[in-house]
Amino acid sequence: MNPSSRLLSSAVLASLVASAPFAALGADDQAATIAALLKRIEELEHKVANLEHPSSTASASTSSTSSSKTDAAVQDLQQQVKVLKRQNELSTEAAAEKAQTAPVVSIGAQGFQVRSADTNFVFKLRGLVQADTRWLINNGGGTPAETFLLRRARLISEGTFFRDFDYQLVTEFGGGSATAQSPTILDANVSYRVSPALSLKAGKFKSPVGLEVLQSDRDRSFIESALPSQLIPNRDIGFQASGDFFDGRLSYAAGVFNGSSDATSANNTDIEGKKEFAGRVFSHPFATSSNEWIQGLGVGLGGSYGNAETASNLPNGGRGTYVSDSQQAWFTYKSGIAGDTTGVVTDGPHWRLSPQGYYYFRSFGVLGEYAVSDQRYRAGNGTAANPFKFAYLDNTAWQVAVSYVLTGEASSYKSVTPRHNLNPAEGNWGAFEVVARYSELDIDSAAFGTFADPTKSPHAAHAVTVGLNWYPNRIFRASVNYTLTDYDGGNGATGDKRSENLILTRFQVAF
């Protein structure tokens, strides 16, 4: 018995002896009681000692049992973790497999789009609506042109299949005349992107010649095109190769086409078999420069060459007809000569050349373009009384256009994107842009007399246009233009055709 136990036993016995019940017992009974109490105390002390200091055998046994139970629990938890991890992997794999096949549908400022998850297949549906008004302050001696009109209403379908193949289909529902109201196919083509340096396109699309003509109709800063665009072919049917080099700093396009007359689109067939070659190179020499003052410079050269003997596949026999912003013809070739019901037709080589360029810096932009169209024309019917007459006629035109975005957005060859959409409650009014342009078209003096009537058709036109564009958001645009067009000649023997003062407005939705 340890000292603490002895002290505890002595204290217990002393307390017992002093108690009244113990004193009443006999001597033998007192001795038996004390012996029993001491034995009980010893048993209790033994139990306490075992609890405080278990034997090595018992400790080892208990530890072994506890370790076995712990190992089993850990193994069970590890197994559960493995099962959960595999289930998660299977779920992830299933989600990834589903994502690879599930189409992605989106709709926004870029139109309606459906694409496969791997982007190998894409379908886009876009639209363009331009509702215009024309108000002539005077009628320029021609037909009054005060009117509301649906200038363009297009449904545009385009997309990608098998990653490298693209298609485009553009249907025009607006701009029809009283005799031609049915929809027109403007563009219908397919292309194959071999690499950034080579893309092949076949079908109907814009000829790669003019700077303004190649600009999207939704992106042009002015409501109507400048005079140089009237010497440039529009859409044609053919085959083209194009591509980019040096990180996009140099691009090219070259193709062979059925051939079209100035400012027109070719018909669907070419029964002559004569083809027209067209091409263009354009460079952004400083596009990757760190100097922002020169990044926005772009220069290029476009041109075409063909040989239309009778131009039977071209509208109006291939004769060029040039119109003002009000779409009134101010110059036409003779449609009939005495003894020759066919009038003037194209008959021979036709080449064009168009140096072009632009410069954009922050909110400022300037665009310039020159165009020359040299065509061999024929008049007469080949008889002794009216023999064939031929002439190579050079018609030239040029333009300079400037733009400035008043609200600080960037100016570019593309349409202005407002920094803030229209929201008067927050003081946001979209973007505002002012524009101004001068353009001129000169007719070859050799045209007058045999091929054109100088008393009816001027030999030059000069047009000044100023305008304001409002972009409340990326989709909507409202524009107003004022154009003054002066003419040299075309009014009798010595007079000038009356100037045309025209106000144009446009409300455009493009998505």
The better pLDDT of the pair 16, 360 is held by 360
Give the start-end residues of each E strand in 162-263.
Answer: 165-172, 184-195, 198-206, 235-245, 250-257
Report how far residue 201's alpha carbon sits from residue 254's, in angstroms, rounded to the nearest whole number. Answer: 10
Which helix or strand (DSSP H or E) is residue 128 part of?
Answer: strand 122-136
Question: Which residues, 6+ apart, have CB-to-CB distance to 116 below 8 Å?
Answer: 101, 103, 104, 122
Write down the pLDDT at residue 255.
98
Look at 60-69, 416-425, 489-498 and tell me which has the smallest mean pLDDT: 60-69
pLDDT digits (tens, 9 = 90+) for 241-278: 999 999 999 999 999 999 888 888 877 666 566 789 99
> Could you tell me where in the chain the CATH 2.40.160.10 domains are found?
104-232+241-287+298-510
Question: Which residues, 6+ apart, have CB-to-CB distance to 245 below 8 Å?
Answer: 197, 251, 252
- Specify whether the CB–CB gap between 227 and 440 falls below 8 A: yes
- Specify whether the CB–CB gap between 350 and 314 falls below 8 A: no
Which of 483, 487, 493, 510 is CA-nearest to residue 145? Answer: 483
Report how far residue 114's alpha carbon sits from residue 111's, in angstroms, rounded to the nearest whole number. Answer: 10
Query: To the nearest whole number, what is the mean pLDDT of the chain?
Result: 85
- Specify whether the CB–CB gap between 218 and 249 falls below 8 A: no
The better pLDDT of the pair 256, 118 is held by 256
The better pLDDT of the pair 259, 61 is held by 259
What are the phi and psi torsion angles at 230 (to 5°)? -80, -5
DSSP 76: H
Report how far residue 273's alpha carbon sits from residue 293's, in angstroms, rounded to the nearest whole number. Answer: 48
Residue 339 has pLDDT above 50, yes or no: no
Q: How far is CA 119 from CA 43, 112, 304, 366, in A?
A: 86, 15, 36, 37
Report how far residue 164's alpha carbon sits from residue 160's, in angstroms, rounded to the nearest whole number. Answer: 7
3-state secondary structure of 215: coil
- Specify whether the CB–CB gap between 141 and 490 falls below 8 A: no
pLDDT digits (tens, 9 = 90+) for 208-236: 999 999 999 999 999 999 999 999 999 99
- What is this structure's pTM? 0.78
> Residue 370, exposed/middle/buried by CB under 10 A (0-12, 13-18, 19+)?
middle
- Specify whether the CB–CB gap between 357 and 301 falls below 8 A: no
Residue 72 has pLDDT above 50, yes or no: yes
Give the start-end residues of each E strand in 225-289.
Answer: 235-245, 250-257, 276-283
Write down the pLDDT at residue 196.
96
CB atoms within 10 A of CB 24: 9
CB atoms within 10 A of CB 312: 15
Task: Give the orientation angle of helix 3-17 with respect to helix 27-52, to 10 degrees.
Answer: 150
Which residue in this structure is represented by tokens 């060459």? 305
Report how far residue 247's alpha carbon sits from residue 42's, in angstroms, rounded to the nearest whole number. Answer: 99
**Helix (DSSP H) and strand (DSSP E) numbers for the chain:** 6, 22
Phi-psi map region of 296: left, alpha, beta (phi>0 left; psi -120 to 50 alpha): alpha
Which of 442, 437, 498 is CA-nearest to residue 464? Answer: 437
Write down the pLDDT at residue 86.
82
CATH code at 104-232+241-287+298-510? 2.40.160.10
pLDDT digits (tens, 9 = 90+) for 149-169: 999 999 999 999 999 999 999
User: Rounded mean pLDDT of 444-462?
Assistant: 93
What are the phi and psi torsion angles at 96 (to 5°)? -65, -40
Report how far residue 270's alpha carbon sits from residue 275's, in angstroms, rounded to the nearest whole number. Answer: 8
